[in-house]
A and B are shown apart, each in its own frame.
Chain A
């Protein structure tokens, strides 16, 4: 998929979701964006939107649960996760997501297990003396 196509999809999804009211369902029909038999489930927490797109081989509500697991795990990692955590630690985010979903399938659903794996990765990283998390204050530090 080209970068342009990716961006176009993101824009279309944004276009669809930004007009959603509060207290409606978490499901959207997105056949026109992703082709027939595609489904979209989203959940938003304050300014953060989490969106999963999948096909009819998955259960919508289970996907919604998975978003919740993802967010709860992020919460454990970053203590009250917010947008900045994600922006500055997007590399970490990739590792976490890789522990939950692999090749488009659910890999692990217990956030305890996911945390365990993520901590192991952190250990491997710091054993070779590297990344630690960027605290939220970094933006303050940068913008002064």
Chain B
């Protein structure tokens, strides 16, 4: 006997371990895979033991990182083996190798179900574990009720029940629409009385999932959670094996407090008092001790308690207690606790009134910026960023700048962005701001995005007092031997504009400035050269009286670049050359840049967007975002490209057409749009880059020139009319009057919702409207979920229902404002009065910033929602069919131009619309009979019968017969079915009954054929 039950397996593993290199390993693995493949091919000679062994080997190979693309069937088939070891392998390997969408899983559903409802507990455990790990939709559909039964069964062992709880949790998380948890609040409340800690822990996790989905239904569980917490933390009423390093089940304590954070508040004063007593005990009774494990466990509980206190918005006294504790933590030796101390302090900032207390710890936090652990340094940076305000900005930003030179590369980008934002937000004076940004570029040029230097240029342009200072600073930096290219750009720009203000200072004559800049030209890339050329032209212009020597020099440069391969450079060189020979006219053309319109900082915008990106959904965060918006987490550019892009692009289309007005709201819109332009493209090509800097000038130029000046500005030639076409390619934005673009196709969303009961009805960058519906006979209860995706509130929210006459619709009050990142639920009651295909429309509008959005959305309260499938037997069908003898109760129509569908596809469409397809009623296999019941307020539940006759030789035509006891219903249902079969569902539905599919003059031959068939049947 081998050492293990499977000697072959141990040998294989040893072989792998003895491989000298990856290549050998691959050869050995390939050999084994080949071997397994051959053995599986000839399954006859394979014993269950061998099969088991090979499947274990497959898993091992998979874990080594090789793709195992065969043998899945064998793994799955082991699930139905009668003996435990084989079954176990089957379950474990299946859940490791296959994902939830794998077709083979379907084959196993019956076996899995039998194991779950069977008597063998070890089998139950295996099955529950696999289902819980995979969590697929089909599992949820066929197994969730059985799993629910196991969880609440009193005859099951805790071992099985705790697995059932987590299995159910996974199924619910993955398929909330399939797993029915109506009425589970009472059961959950009962489960929380459980004595077994294993079951209780799993149930608490389940509760967290349920409450996070809908806390309203689970209020009754709240006092139970507090009781559980008291039982653990106060009474320590718990079996010995559940104390962990002397602490009563820290996990359960943590989970319980987590569950409590999903309830918006604790209203009952007694419960609240009890809860605060326990929390107080936890806050005060935790000390840092020597044993690392004990420390971790006790602080896990403590930090969760802190989070809960913050969530509950406790009394001030308790809050300051918390800050005091955190202040202690950020100075302890234990790195984990320092880390969490900093992190929680950052969260704490979101609660009002603690800013000042936290500021007392500033020195310690700055020390943490030099912690050996990068994780801690990052937390410290976040915290410093969050706590910065006007009073401490200078200190903090200067610390950040100092740290920049020694910081890890991984942090520099984030660091420089944060420093730039803080400098801008809280600058005590503007010259300091210029200093900071220039230092930033100097120390970490690679990490300074274009947004940052664009912004400094804007500030300088708009503040005359600042201009000589900035120019002098720029001049100083040029003297440094090696400067970053971004520094060349910004210095060249500033000196081009303002160097004449320095004229009398030493080293600042036009010539000297020119040569200082020109010295850098050989070191820069083609994107910078155009800026340098503009600068030369400007210097030339400012040199009065003209300096012939300088002029000659500059002209030589221009003519050198006249044949440059880069179009932008070439164009500038030619134009500047031509212009500068015009003498005095140059003055008008190259005049100083006018002020930029006030615009929202692209940087701050970027920060907000990044924040949206990484924001977590936990209850406390959601609330906290309403308090402040400066908790910035800047991800690297690759990961933050998703949503911000779309937001940016959205603003792009907002540009209104503008003539040179003063600062109107339209200006602001434009500036916003331009502000974000920079964020859209992380590395704008030079043309766009300049477009962003210079573009907005257009609105401030002379009214007459306004139209043309934008393209002109792009090429750097203000006021000289050139054909707009020439520059059209680089005009950055287009005009569009639509303010907000929807995400996704509204029609497709509507049609999808006609077939299912929950989903997204509408989405744009600001809002998402979800819908969840329940239909019972003629009644419907819909809930609209209005979710604000932004970090600022949506205002003037209005929702109006335009109901068709056949529907009675009541919409509950819609709040006028949706707070940042909040979701508002608006229930909607629908009652169907009589049959009609008209659609209710939701007229929805809101204001976001300065833009107004209005959409009209069809509500999926359509005819088929009031249908319920019903199966009729032949004995019921035929008498009914005959009794409804002709129009108007029974209508028949031949329809052409139908989408060609197989009968199966057609049957599927019918089923999805709640029509039951009755198999075998029609003797002709090319026909299809369906039945359903229609519910409305004015007529009794009405049986509807439908017959479709198809022509197998021409699938584009068919004959439809619809019969019911109500003429309107018959007509409407007929039209409805035609729409479904003829119209392509994504096409907008015509307002009137569609004309196209109605019977047209038809080919008699085609008509008689199915007609005869029908006559024969009846």
A residues at B contact (CB < 8 Å)? 1-4, 6-7, 10, 21, 23-29, 31-32, 35-37, 55-57, 59-62, 64-66, 68-69, 87-88, 90-91, 94-95, 98, 102-113, 117, 120-121, 124-125, 127-135, 138-139, 141-143
Contacts and interface: CB of A to CB of B under 8 A. Distances in A.
Contacts of A10: 65
Contacts of B638: 32
A86 to B, nearest CB: 11
A69 B5 contact: no
B242 interface: yes
Interface in B632-674: 633, 635-636, 638-639
Q: Which of B5, B10, B62 has the most CB of A within 10 A?
A: B5
B4 A88 contact: yes
B895 to A, nearest CB: 46
A94 to B, nearest CB: 5
Contacts of B254: 59, 62
Nearest to B134: A103
A59 B162 contact: no
Q: Which of A31, A69, A130, A132 has the most CB of B within 10 A?
A: A130
A46 to B, nearest CB: 16
B84 A110 contact: no
Interface string B332-352: 000110111000000000000
Interface in B9-66: 10-11, 13-14, 17-18, 56, 59-60, 62-63, 65-66
Q: Which of A59, A65, A69, A117 has the most CB of B within 10 A?
A: A59
Interface string B504-537: 0000000000000000000000000000000000
A112 B241 contact: yes
B133 A139 contact: no
B618 A107 contact: no
What 10 A-B pairs come out closest when comparing CB atoms? Answer: A103-B170, A61-B300, A142-B14, A24-B373, A103-B132, A25-B335, A112-B241, A131-B5, A130-B85, A36-B614
21 contacts: A3-B62, A24-B375, A27-B375, A32-B635, A61-B297, A62-B254, A65-B251, A87-B13, A88-B13, A91-B56, A98-B129, A102-B128, A105-B170, A106-B251, A107-B166, A121-B122, A124-B122, A128-B85, A138-B4, A138-B14, A142-B18
A68 to B, nearest CB: 5
Given A68-B293, A102-B133, A142-B11, 13 more contacts: A24-B376, A28-B375, A31-B635, A37-B616, A62-B251, A65-B244, A98-B133, A106-B201, A113-B198, A117-B125, A121-B88, A133-B4, A143-B18
A62 B300 contact: yes
Interface of B: 3-6, 10-11, 13-14, 17-18, 56, 59-60, 62-63, 65-67, 83-85, 88-89, 92, 96, 99, 122, 125, 128-129, 132-133, 135, 159, 162-163, 166-167, 169-170, 197-198, 201-202, 205, 208, 241-242, 244, 249-252, 254-255, 258, 293, 296-297, 299-300, 303-304, 335-336, 338-340, 372-373, 375-376, 378, 613-614, 616, 618, 621, 633, 635-636, 638-639
Given A102-B132, A105-B166, A138-B3, A125 B85 contact: yes
B202 to A, nearest CB: 6
B163 A3 contact: no
A91 B376 contact: no
A118 B999 CA distance: 71
Contact of B10 (A23, A106, A138): A138
Contacts of A130: 5, 85
Given A21-B372, A59-B258, A95-B88, A87 B198 contact: no
B697 to A, nearest CB: 38
Contacts of A131: 4-6, 85
A109 B201 contact: yes
Nearest to B92: A94
Q: Which of A6, A21, A104, A110 has the most CB of B within 10 A?
A: A110
Given A27-B339, A88-B10, A105-B205, A132 B66 contact: no
Nearest to B297: A65
Given A36-B614, A109-B201, A128 B84 contact: yes
Nearest to B68: A3
A52 to B, nearest CB: 13
Contacts of B129: 98, 102
A98 B11 CA distance: 26
Contacts of B99: 1
A111 B62 CA distance: 29
Contacts of B208: 57
Nearest to A87: B13
Contacts of B250: 62, 65
B202 A105 contact: yes
Contacts of A64: 296, 300, 336
B84 A125 contact: yes
Given A59-B258, A112-B241, A65 B166 contact: no
Nearest to B2: A134
A143 B17 CA distance: 10
A127 B84 CA distance: 9
A25 B251 contact: no
A88 B63 CA distance: 13
A45 to B, nearest CB: 12
B17 A87 contact: yes
A117 B17 contact: no
B339 A25 contact: yes
B223 to A, nearest CB: 23
B338 A25 contact: yes
A24 B339 CA distance: 10
Contact of B304 (A7, A32, A59, A110): A59
Contacts of A138: 3-4, 10, 14
A37 B635 CA distance: 11
Contact of B335 (A24, A55, A125): A24
Contacts of B167: 102-103
A31 B62 CA distance: 26
Contacts of A133: 4
B162 to A, nearest CB: 6
Nearest to A63: B300
A14 to B, nearest CB: 12
Contacts of B96: 94
Q: Which of A4, A60, A66 has the most CB of B within 10 A?
A: A60
A43 B125 CA distance: 29
Contacts of A109: 197-198, 201, 242, 244, 249, 251-252
Contacts of A142: 10-11, 14, 17-18
B163 A102 contact: yes
Contacts of B293: 65, 68
A27 to B, nearest CB: 5
